[in-house]
Amino acid sequence: MFVSRDREKLINAIIYFLGATKHAHTLKLFKLLNFADFEHFRQAGRTIFGLDYRALPMGPVPTKLFEELKRGGDGDLKAAIAVVPVKDDINDALLRRDLKAKAKFDKQYFSKREIKIIERIAELFRDLKAEDMSEFSHQKGEPWRKVYGQKGEGSGRLIAPDLSLDSEPLIKDAPIISRDELEDRRNLLKDIA
């Protein structure tokens, strides 16, 4: 019987990204997770975390995780991550949610490929702010841009991971799965189910 470890991977990737990068708040986290998921999909034909990303104005957003973080996190996430609202001093408006790790990273849930991708993504974006990362996720030909469009006509729509196969890889020295291989794997899984 297959047991999904998506949740454990997600929580541990968040912990890793919080420790390995600067300027950690929800927007940067969402971009890091999306880059890792889509880079892994480009190489292996599946995402790491099993998240669905939607094309929102600031970039790709895993909406279920976003809703959870707005509530402060479910028990397992709350035990691992502190969500700290940052408000405007003048009008008390919410500016962002900073994130702090409360637990240690545990790599046991990840494959070697997943670890390598997470480490490379963190290294690439370590010092950048989320706004600076938008230069990468908002480029023409990137999955977010393909769905969101030039004027936001695709706002709120699901970003299919398959779109990553046609975009420029962030990790240039890694193999890319072919569409034929991806289709073969999907057919194999249909036969098993």
The pLDDT tens digits of the residues spanning 17-53 come to 999 999 989 999 999 999 999 999 999 999 999 999 9
The pLDDT value given to residue 27: 92
d(CA 59, CA 156): 10
The pLDDT tens digits of the residues spanning 72-125 come to 889 999 999 998 888 888 998 888 888 999 999 999 999 999 999 999 999 999
d(CA 171, CA 152): 28
Residue (of 170, 165, 128, 173) closest to 35 by Cα position: 170
Is residue 137 within 8 Å of 29, Cβ to Cβ? no
pLDDT at 171 over 90: no
The pLDDT tens digits of the residues spanning 132-146 come to 888 877 777 799 999
Pairing state of beta strands 59-62 and 53-56?
antiparallel
Phi, psi at residue 83, to the nearest 5°?
A: -105, 115
pLDDT-derived band of residue 2, with 50, 70 and 90 as boundaries? low
pTM for the whole structure: 0.92
